């Protein structure tokens, strides 16, 4: 009998192919939009990670206490050794050193006199190491308005608005005026290789980006850095894993009474991101639930209509002596079969699409050219997560079966003769 | 004397209509014996289909007793009434009601699947049944490829394949032209004689009446006349 019914499903495209296509589309949309929503919200967090907090960050204890003041006199020393030990202990993370610094940018004229000055918010990153991904991580190349990424020492990128304000052109020289980590005056000239706009007001105002080795020389921080940032190789922040890494690292120094001993913080512990992350998680759950609910209603109706459309066939089967219970069970069995097939196909396509969107993303930079006040990623990315494996089954299988169950209740509720009349049998 | 296989005793059937009730059958008493070729005739609204539904265990009386193949219809649950239809009753409808995705063979085979017959038993019975109606060579065709007459013959084969004691036919010739109607009726008459199957029609078609051996006239839900027709008239 099952074989007979299965034959019917295969031959009747409106019972097999059509609902499978509808379910597949519904499940693909559910999985991909859930992944996209999670990816978008996660990307907003990632912006903080890339520019500021890392997935974890190592500082000296004293630096950490005053980090908003960028106290490079309290920076870590011996960072190359520390980096090697971190890379060895946590090989699933990529470790980078950064120096954030403040100071004044002076623009000299042909005679060497100052023709303009402005406060700088500087960031030194590893631009020249062959395996460094810092420039890519900060999306520098794509954020350039003019010029190019520094290719040799003594070059810098400055914020586009800052450059316009100071009437700077590519190739012009600027002078950094600040203090070294030892509190002495520091002067260093740089040539402007490019101007940049990240699309984030806080980042663009007075931005100066130079290579880490230039900063170390300029600030007299040989083998030193204000911050060591760790990023998961997957590129995705995992709070539980970050907590384990943090606990394991800090365990080494818990007994130390050195004020300059390194201390690690995970992303969630910095910049009050804990509350923001919890909010993002709650919003993400609510939005995904709303979408899954809406898609469930659509597929519920598909199941309902599919069942109602077959009352004619049920009438014939009743007349031939099939019991109502048997018809009802076969209807549910078919719904499970169709729902499962559609959900599996939809989930596979949805997961593949989500994976593609996670790896390649969708470049929206063209639409975000004028977005200067929002911290939004210019590339829309999805995020694969374990719940995406089963989330499509909620509308695809559960709603489909419930829809069929509801339509099938009519078989029981109606008197057989009434059902026959309705069936026009 | 042949045994009664259908006994209707003081059967009344009322349907709720708005705030009132409509009486479709009113104290009907009637019996049918095995092997009869009989018809319930009367104008529209006389209660023919209601009576046929009750005999077919598709409906139950409001009052009175309907006993079919020894089973009191009012006392049957869904499962038992399905079993009664599966084992003892065959249905032929005004429209042929073949399942369009299945072949002629599979449409006829379906009733036997419900009886858990083996593949060999099913194949033999289905082909035999199709041969009875002259469609042995059309077993692999889909219903959409059949003419109206052929479709109704498949419906007869489907009703007969399980060798039921009773075949209930509701206006079986309504959608057929005269030639096809006569061919179908002759086929049913032959099966009635050869297999001793009871045929019970609900009709107001003169062509069908011409073949009946007994006509129960219904009017306003009551039996007005129970008429036995001489055999020669239908030959």
Q: Are B13 and B206 in contact (CB under 8 A)?
A: no
Residue B233 DSSP code: H
Q: What's the pLDDT tens digit per position in B199-217?
A: 999 988 888 999 999 999 9
Percent of chain B with pLDDT strictly greater than 90: 45
What distance lies between CA B12 and its chain's CA centroid?
21
Q: Minimal CA–CA distance to A187: which of A196, A178, A197?
A: A178
Cβ distance of A318 and B85 shorter than 8 Å: yes
Q: What's the pLDDT tens digit per position in B22-60?
A: 899 999 999 999 999 999 999 888 899 889 989 999 888
C-alpha B27/C-alpha B6 separation (Å) is 16
Residue showing tokens 């009519």: A410
C-alpha A363/C-alpha A267 separation (Å) is 26
- Closest residue to A420, CB basis, from B58, B100, B114: B58
Q: What is the ipTM of this complex?
A: 0.81
* C-alpha distances out from residue A240 to A268, B68, B158, Å: 10, 72, 66
How close, in Å, is residue B93 to chain A by CA atoms? 7
- Closest residue to B97, CB basis, from A8, A316, A412: A316
A320, A324, A327, A412, best to mutate vs chain B, most B CBs in 10 Å: A320
Cβ distance of B102 and A424 shorter than 8 Å: no
Residue A137 exposure: Cα atoms within 13 Å on the Cβ side: 27
* Exposure string for B184-222, b = 16+ CB within 10 A, e = fewer: bbebbbebbeeeebbbbbbbbbeebbebbbbbbbbeebb
Q: How confident is the model at residue A316 (pLDDT cuts 50, 70, 90)?
A: confident
Q: In B, which residues are within 8 Å of A12 by CB distance?
A: 100-101
C-alpha B7/C-alpha B72 separation (Å) is 9
Q: How confident is the model at residue B165 (pLDDT cuts 50, 70, 90)?
A: very high
* C-alpha distances out from residue A73 to A67, A91, A220, A397, Å: 11, 30, 10, 61
Q: What's the pLDDT tens digit per position in A365-416?
A: 666 555 544 445 667 888 888 889 988 888 888 888 888 888 777 666 665 5
Instruction: List the domain boundaries for chain A.
Output: 2-46+276-423, 56-234
Cβ distance of B85 and A321 shorter than 8 Å: yes
Mean pLDDT across chain A: 85
How close, in Å, is residue B97 to chain A by CA atoms? 7
**Is A4 an 8 Å CB contact of chain B?**
yes
A365 CB contacts (<8 Å, ≥6 apart)?
A142, A378, A379
**Is A319 an 8 Å CB contact of chain B?**
yes
For B185, phi then psi, to 5°, come to -65, -35
For helices A400-413 and A311-319, give the axis angle rounded to 10 degrees.
50
**Is A3 an 8 Å CB contact of chain B?**
no
Q: In B, which residues are within 8 Å of A319 by CB distance?
A: 56, 58, 85, 91, 93, 97
Q: How confident is the model at residue B136 (pLDDT cuts 50, 70, 90)?
A: confident
Q: In B, which residues are within 8 Å of A17 by CB distance?
A: none
Q: Minimal CA–CA distance to B15: which of B6, B26, B7?
A: B26
* CA dihedral of residues A388, A393, A395, A398 (deg, nearest 10): -150
B44, B82, B98, B172, best to mutate vs chain A, most A CBs in 10 Å: B82
Element (H, E) at A209: strand A207-211
Q: Which of the listed ranges A36-45, A110-119, B78-87, B94-103 does the model predict with the highest average pLDDT?
A: B78-87
Count, in order, helices (H) and strands (E) of chain B: 8, 10
DSSP-assigned states of every residue in A48-65? HIIIII-SEEEEEHHHHH
C-alpha A339/C-alpha A19 separation (Å) is 8
Q: Are B223 and B50 in contact (CB under 8 A)?
A: no
- The CATH superfamily assigned to B4-93+164-234 is P-loop containing nucleotide triphosphate hydrolases (3.40.50.300)
pLDDT number for residue B168:
93
């Amino acid at each position: 009998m099952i074989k007979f019914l299965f034959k019917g499903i295969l031959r009747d495209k409106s019972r097999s192919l059509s609902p499978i296509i509808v379910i597949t589309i519904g499940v693909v949309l559910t999985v991909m939009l859930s992944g996209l929503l999670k990816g978008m919200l996660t990307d907003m967090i990632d912006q903080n990670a890339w520019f500021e907090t890392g997935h974890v960050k190592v500082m000296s204890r004293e630096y950490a206490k005053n980090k908003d003041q960028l106290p490079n006199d309290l920076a870590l020393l011996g960072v190359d050794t520390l980096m090697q030990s971190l890379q060895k202990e946590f090989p699933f993370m990529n470790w980078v050193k950064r120096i954030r610094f403040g100071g004044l940018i002076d623009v000299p004229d042909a005679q060497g006199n100052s023709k303009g000055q402005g406060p700088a918010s500087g960031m030194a990153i590893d631009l020249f190491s062959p395996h460094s991904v810092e420039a890519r991580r900060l999306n520098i190349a794509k954020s350039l308005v003019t010029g190019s990424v520094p290719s040799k020492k003594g070059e810098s990128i400055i914020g586009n608005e800052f450059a316009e304000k100071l009437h700077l052109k590519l190739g012009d020289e600027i002078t950094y005026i600040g203090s070294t980590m030892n509190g002495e005056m520091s002067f260093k000239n740089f040539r402007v290789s490019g101007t940049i706009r990240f699309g984030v007001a806080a980042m663009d105002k007075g931005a100066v980006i130079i290579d880490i080795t230039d900063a170390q020389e300029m600030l007299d921080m040989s083998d030193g850095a204000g911050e060591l940032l760790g990023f998961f190789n997957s590129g995705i922040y995992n709070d539980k894993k970050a907590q384990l890494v943090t606990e394991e690292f800090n365990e080494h120094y818990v007994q130390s009474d050195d004020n300059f001993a390194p201390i690690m913080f995970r992303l969630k512990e910095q910049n009050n991101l804990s509350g923001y992350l919890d909010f993002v998680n709650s919003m993400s759950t609510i939005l995904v639930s709303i979408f899954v609910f809406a898609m469930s209603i659509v597929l519920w109706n598909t199941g309902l209509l599919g069942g109602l459309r077959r009352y004619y066939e049920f009438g014939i089967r009743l007349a031939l002596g099939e019991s109502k219970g048997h018809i009802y069970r076969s209807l549910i069995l078919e719904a499970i079969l169709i729902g499962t097939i559609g959900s599996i196909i939809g989930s596979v396509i949805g997961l593949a699409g989500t994976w593609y969107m996670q790896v390649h993303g969708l470049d929206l930079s063209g639409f975000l050219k004028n977005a200067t006040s929002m911290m939004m990623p210019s590339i829309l990315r999805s995020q694969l997560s374990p719940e995406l494996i089963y989330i499509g089954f909620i509308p695809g299988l559960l709603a489909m079966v419930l829809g069929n169950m509801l339509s099938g209740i009519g078989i029981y509720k109606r008197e057989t003769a009434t059902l026959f009349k309705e069936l026009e049998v | 004397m042949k045994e009664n296989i259908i006994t209707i005793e003081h059967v009344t059937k009322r349907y709720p209509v708005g705030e009132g009730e409509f009486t479709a059958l009113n104290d009907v008493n009637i019996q049918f014996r095995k092997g009869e070729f009989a018809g319930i005739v009367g104008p529209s609204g006389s209660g023919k289909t209601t009576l046929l539904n009750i005999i077919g265990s598709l409906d139950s009386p409001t009052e009175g007793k309907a006993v079919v193949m020894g089973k009191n219809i009012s006392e049957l649950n869904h499962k038992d009434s399905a079993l009664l239809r599966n084992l003892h009753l065959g249905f032929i409808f005004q429209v042929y009601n073949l399942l369009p995705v299945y072949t002629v063979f599979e449409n006829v085979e379906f009733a036997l699947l419900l009886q858990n017959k083996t593949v060999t038993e099913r194949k033999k019975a289905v082909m035999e049944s199709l041969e009875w109606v002259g469609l042995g060579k059309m077993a692999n065709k889909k219903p959409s490829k059949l003419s109206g007459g052929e479709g109704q013959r498949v419906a007869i084969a489907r009703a007969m394949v399980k060798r039921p004691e009773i075949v209930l036919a509701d206006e079986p010739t309504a959608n057929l032209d005269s030639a096809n109607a006569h061919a179908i009726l002759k086929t049913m008459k032959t099966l009635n004689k050869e297999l001793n199957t009871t045929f019970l029609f609900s009709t107001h078609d003169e062509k069908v009446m011409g073949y009946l051996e007994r006509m129960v006239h219904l009017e306003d839900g009551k039996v007005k006349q129970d008429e036995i027709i001489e055999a020669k008239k239908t030959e």
